[in-house]
Structure 1
Amino acid sequence: MRNFFIFCSLILFYSCSDSKATAELIVINGNIYTVDEEFGKAQAFAVSNGKFLAVGTNEEITNQYKSDQTIDAKNQTIVPGLIDAHCHFFNYGFVLQELDLVGTKSYKEIVQKIVDFQKEKNRPFILGRGWDQNDWEIKDFPTKDTLDLLFPDTPIALGRIDGHALLVNQKVLDLAGINEKTKVEGGEIIKQNGKITGVLVDNAEELVNKIIPRSTKENAINALLDAQKVCFSLGLTTVDDAGLSKFAINLIDSLQQAQKLKMRVYAMVSVSDENLDHFINNGIIKTDRLNVRSFKVYSDGALGSRGAAMRAPYSDRENHFGALVTGVEKTKEIAQRIANSDYQMNTHAIGDSANTFLLKTYQKVLKGKVDRRWRIEHAQIVSPEDFEFYKEIIPSVQPTHATSDMYWAEDRVGSDRIKGAYAYKNLLNEYGKIALGTDFPVEQVNPMLTFYAAVSRKDLQGFPEYGFNPENALSREETLKGMTIWAAYSNFEENEKGSIENGKLADFVILDQDIMTEDIHKIPETKVLSTFVNGERVYDIMK
Structure 2
Amino acid sequence: MKKILLLGLFSLMLISCNSIDKEKADLLVFNAEIYTVDENFSTAEAFVTKDGKFLEIGTAEALEEKYDIAEKLDAGGKSVFPGFIDGHAHFYRLGLQQQRVDLTGTKSFDEVVQRIVDFQNQRGAEFITGRGWDQNDWENKEFPTKDTLDELFPDTPIAVTRIDGHALLANQAALDKAGITTVTPFDGGDIEQKNGRLTGIIVDNPMSLITNAQPEPSTQEQVNALLDAQKISFEYGLTTVVDAGIDRETIELMDSLHQEESLKIRLYAMISNTEENLDYYLDKDPIKTERLNVRSVKFYGDGALGSRGAALKEEYSDRAGHFGALLSPVEDFKETAERLAASKFQLNTHAIGDSANYLVLKIYDELLKDGGDRRWRVEHSQVIDTADFKYFSKNIIPSVQPTHATSDMYWAEDRLGEERMQGAYAFKKLLDQAGIVALGTDFPVEEVSPFLTFYAAVARQDTDNYPEDGFMMEQALSREETLKGMTIWAAYANFEEKEKGSIEAGKFADFIILDKDIMKVDAAEIPGIKVLETYVNAEKVY
Whether TM exceeds 0.5 here: the answer is yes
C-alpha distance in structure 1 between counterparts of 2:441 and 2:522, whole Å: 22
Q: Counterparts in 2 of 1:369-380, with a 5 A limit?
A: 369-380=371-382
C-alpha distance in structure 1 between counterparts of 2:324 and 2:131, whole Å: 22
C-alpha distance in structure 1 between counterparts of 2:129 and 2:212, whole Å: 14
C-alpha distance in structure 2 between counterparts of 1:411 and 1:4, whole Å: 88
Q: Give the counterpart letter for 1:414 in structure 2.
A: G
Matched, 1:295 2:297: yes
* Alpha-carbon displacement from aligned partner over 1:165-200 (angstroms, at most 9, x marks no partner): 000001111111111112211010112222211010
Query: For 1:267, what is the secondary structure of its paired residue?
Result: strand
C-alpha distance in structure 2 between counterparts of 1:246 and 1:498, whole Å: 27
C-alpha distance in structure 1 between counterparts of 2:483 and 2:406, whole Å: 18
Which residue of structure 1 lines up, in the alignment, with residue 441 of structure 2? 438
Matched, 1:121 2:138: no
Matched, 1:502 2:505: yes
Which of 65, 68, 73 does residue 66 from structure 1 map onto? 68
Q: Give the counterpart letter for 2:510 in structure 1.
A: D
Which residue of structure 2 lines up, in the alignment, with residue 130 of structure 1? 132
C-alpha distance in structure 1 between counterparts of 2:435 and 2:364, whole Å: 18
Q: Give the counterpart letter for 1:254 in structure 2.
A: S
Which of 357, 360, 368 does residue 358 from structure 1 map onto? 360
* Alpha-carbon displacement from aligned partner over 1:231-258 (angstroms, at most 9, x marks no partner): 0111000010000100001100011011
Q: Give the counterpart letter for 1:475 in structure 2.
A: S
Which of 26, 29, 33 does residue 27 from structure 1 map onto? 29
Query: For 1:130, what is the secondary structure of its paired residue?
Result: strand
Query: For 1:201, what is the secondary structure of its paired residue?
Result: strand
Which residue of structure 2 lines up, in the alignment, with residue 310 of structure 1? 312
C-alpha distance in structure 1 between counterparts of 2:185 and 2:458, whole Å: 44
Which residue of structure 1 lines up, in the alignment, with residue 412 of structure 2? 409
Query: For 2:70, what is the secondary structure of its paired residue?
Result: coil
Which residue of structure 2 lines up, in the alignment, with residue 345 of structure 1? 347
Q: Counterparts in 2 of 1:503-518, with a 5 A limit?
A: 503-518=506-521
Which of 101, 106, 121 does residue 99 from structure 1 map onto? 101
Query: For 1:478, what is the secondary structure of its paired residue?
Result: helix
C-alpha distance in structure 1 between counterparts of 2:151 and 2:303, whole Å: 30
Per-residue deviation, 1:326 = 1.6
Which of 261, 280, 283 does residue 281 from structure 1 map onto? 283
C-alpha distance in structure 2 between counterparts of 1:78 and 1:389, whole Å: 36
The answer to which of 460-469 and 187-196 deviates more is 187-196
Instruction: Report the number of matched residues.
Output: 539
Matched, 1:169 2:178: no
C-alpha distance in structure 1 between counterparts of 2:196 and 2:354, whole Å: 30
Query: For 2:392, what is the secondary structure of its paired residue?
Result: helix
C-alpha distance in structure 2 between counterparts of 1:274 and 1:365, whole Å: 24
Matched, 1:531 2:542: no
Which residue of structure 1 lines up, in the alignment, with residue 231 of structure 2? 229
Q: Counterparts in 2 of 1:375-390, with a 5 A limit?
A: 375-390=377-392
C-alpha distance in structure 2 between counterparts of 1:257 and 1:10, whole Å: 46
Structure 2 gaps of 5+ residues are none
Which residue of structure 1 lines up, in the alignment, with residue 464 of structure 2? 461
The answer to which of 479-488 and 12-21 deviates more is 12-21
* Alpha-carbon displacement from aligned partner over 1:88-135 (angstroms, at most 9, x marks no partner): 001110001100000000000111111111111111111110000000
1:26/1:66 contact within 8 Å kept: no
Per-residue deviation, 1:66 = 2.2
Which of 425, 429, 446 does residue 426 from structure 1 map onto? 429
Which residue of structure 2 lines up, in the alignment, with residue 54 of structure 1? 56
Which residue of structure 1 lines up, in the alignment, with residue 47 of structure 2? 45
Q: Counterparts in 2 of 1:473-512, with a 5 A limit?
A: 473-512=476-515
The answer to which of 62-71 and 132-141 deviates more is 62-71
Q: Give the counterpart letter for 1:440 in structure 2.
A: F
Per-residue deviation, 1:16 = 2.7
Relative to the length of structure 1, the TM-score reads 0.98
Which of 78, 82, 85 does residue 83 from structure 1 map onto? 85
C-alpha distance in structure 2 between counterparts of 1:461 and 1:394, whole Å: 32
Q: Give the counterpart letter for 1:199 in structure 2.
A: I
Which residue of structure 1 lines up, in the alignment, with residue 18 of structure 2? 16
1:31/1:76 contact within 8 Å kept: yes
Query: For 2:355, what is the secondary structure of its paired residue?
Result: helix
Q: Give the counterpart letter for 1:373 in structure 2.
A: R
Q: Counterparts in 2 of 1:184-333, with a 5 A limit?
A: 184-333=186-335
* Alpha-carbon displacement from aligned partner over 1:399-452 (angstroms, at most 9, x marks no partner): 001001100111100111111111000000001000000000000011111111
Query: For 1:23, what is the secondary structure of its paired residue?
Result: strand
Q: Give the counterpart letter for 1:402 in structure 2.
A: A
The answer to which of 458-467 and 17-26 deviates more is 17-26
Q: Give the counterpart letter for 1:244 in structure 2.
A: I
C-alpha distance in structure 2 between counterparts of 1:156 and 1:307, whole Å: 22
1:507/1:532 contact within 8 Å kept: yes
- Identical residues among aligned pairs (%): 58
Query: For 1:123, what is the secondary structure of its paired residue?
Result: coil
Q: Give the counterpart letter for 1:509 in structure 2.
A: I
Query: For 2:321, what is the secondary structure of its paired residue?
Result: coil
Which residue of structure 1 lines up, in the alignment, with residue 145 of structure 2? 143
* Alpha-carbon displacement from aligned partner over 1:351-395 (angstroms, at most 9, x marks no partner): 000000100011112221111000000000000000011134100
Q: Give the counterpart letter for 1:413 in structure 2.
A: L
C-alpha distance in structure 1 between counterparts of 2:179 and 2:151, whole Å: 20
Q: Give the counterpart letter for 1:148 in structure 2.
A: D
The answer to which of 274-283 and 419-428 deviates more is 274-283
* Alpha-carbon displacement from aligned partner over 1:271-330 (angstroms, at most 9, x marks no partner): 112211110112210111111000000000000000000000000111000000121010
Please tell me the root mean square deviation across aligned C-alpha atoms, in Å: 1.1
Q: Give the counterpart letter for 2:104 in structure 1.
A: V
C-alpha distance in structure 2 between counterparts of 1:240 and 1:66, whole Å: 37
Matched, 1:179 2:203: no
Q: Give the counterpart letter for 2:33 in structure 1.
A: N
Q: Give the counterpart letter for 2:61 in structure 1.
A: E
* Alpha-carbon displacement from aligned partner over 1:14-34 (angstroms, at most 9, x marks no partner): 433333211111111111000
Q: Give the counterpart letter for 2:53 in structure 1.
A: K
Query: For 2:541, what is the secondary structure of its paired residue?
Result: strand
Per-residue deviation, 1:10 = 4.0
